Amino acid sequence: MAFDFKKEYREFYMPGNKPEIVDVPKVNYIAVRGKGDPNEEGGAYKEAISVLYAIAYTLKMSYKTEYKIDGFFEYVVPPLEGFWWQDDTDGAEYSDKSAFNWISVIRLPDFVTEKDFEWARETAEKKKRLDLSSAKFLTVVEGLCVQIMHIGAFDDEGETVTVMDRFLQENGYENDINNERLHHEIYLSDPRKTAPEKRKTVIRHPIRKV
């Protein structure tokens, strides 16, 4: 059976509906940076997702090619994730989606090296005739964080974030969001197939002890 990150690392992908504190280790990603409304048809965000999946599935299916990755085992491509922020804003103004900066990412198995990533990008470019130069190999160490499962529309995330903030205040922590540590979302539902009120999204914020 293929390795499934959501099942093997439930503490990072399947939190409950109450805030909880986790210590997130180093993770490598395929990453594309951009800015703008993620809902824009044909926009930069939708294009970024296509880039990510083109490389992710090339790596996943690499065992069927002549290119062999050391330590490879079959796995399920992890869910889409995103790091988000707005310039000169404390929190997020959901009504102004054009102001969002984002790093759209898909997790890589630990056995995938930067060399393997470059092979996959070049291979996918030739096979699919796409420009995948925007994709980068990104390493993130989130460290101490608070997270929760948000069920509902993306525009309603503010209510869930308020619950997280209250939890931190009551337990002697505070948010530590800055240029290096960002608001993080993990998308467990396909928005094309799931009604907004039923979508599951992990919301994670970096924190520090007061």
Closest CA to 84 of 75, 93, 74: 93
What pLDDT is stored for residue 9 in this prediction? 97
168-175's contacts with Cβ under 8 Å and 24+ in sequence apart are: 168/19, 168/207, 171/21, 172/209, 172/210, 173/21, 173/146, 173/207, 173/208, 173/209, 173/210, 174/207, 174/208, 174/210, 175/205, 175/206, 175/207
**pLDDT greater than 80 at residue 10:** yes
**pLDDT greater than 70 at residue 102:** yes
Locate 173 and state its tokens: 């922590």
Name 184's bridge partners: 83, 204
Q: Is the pTM of this model over 0.85?
A: yes
What pLDDT is stored for residue 91 in this prediction? 66
Locate 51 and state its tokens: 């880039």
CA distance 202 to 12: 9
pLDDT for 123-169, tens place per residue?
999 998 999 999 999 999 999 999 999 999 999 999 999 999 999 99
Closest CA to 183 of 209, 163, 157: 157
